[in-house]
Homo-oligomer: A and B are copies of this chain.
Amino acid sequence: MTDGLERRRMSRAARREQLIVLGVELVGASSFDAVSTDDVAAAAGISRGLLFHYFPTKRDFQVAVAERGADDLLAATAPPTGASPVEQLRAGVEGLLDHVAAHPDAYLSLVRGTASGDAALRAVADRTRAALVERVLDGLGLEPRPDPVVVLAVRGWVAASEEVVVTWLAERAVDRATVVTVVVDGLLLQLGALLPEGDVARLLAIDG
Among A149, A161, A178, A179, max chain B CB count under 10 A is at A149
Instruction: Let me know if A162 is at the binding interface, CB within 8 A.
Output: yes
Partner of A114, one of B115, B117, B149, B186: B115
Instruction: Let me know if A36 is at the binding interface, CB within 8 A.
Output: no
User: In whole angstroms, what is the CA distance A149 to B177 when docked?
Assistant: 11
Instruction: Let me know if A194 is at the binding interface, CB within 8 A.
Output: yes
A76-129 CB contacts (< 8 Å) to partner B? 111-117
Copies in the assembly, this chain: 2
Among A31, A159, A164, A178, max chain B CB count under 10 A is at A159
Find the B residue at minimum CB distance from A191. Answer: B189
Partner of A182, one of B116, B153, B158, B182: B153
Q: Point out the residues of chain B lying under 8 angstroms from A190, CB to CB.
A: 182, 185-186, 189
User: In whole angstroms, what is the CA distance A152 to B113 when docked?
Assistant: 22
With A115-B111, A116-B117 already in contact, the answer to whether A159 and B152 are too (CB < 8 A) is no
With A152-B174, A186-B190 already in contact, the answer to whether A163 and B158 are too (CB < 8 A) is yes
A133-165 CB contacts (< 8 Å) to partner B? 148-149, 151-153, 155-164
A170-199 CB contacts (< 8 Å) to partner B? 171, 173-174, 178-179, 182-183, 185-186, 189-190, 192-194
User: In whole angstroms, what is the CA distance A175 to B116 when docked?
Assistant: 29
Report whether B148 and A155 are in contact in the complex, using a CB–CB cutoff of 8 Å.
no
* Interface residues of A, Cβ cutoff 8 Å to B: 30-31, 33, 111-117, 148-149, 151-153, 155-164, 167-168, 171, 173-174, 178-179, 182-183, 185-186, 189-190, 192-194
In addition to A112-B115, A156-B183, 9 A-B residue pairs with Cβ atoms within 8 Å of each other are A113-B115, A115-B115, A149-B178, A152-B179, A156-B164, A158-B163, A159-B164, A185-B190, A189-B190
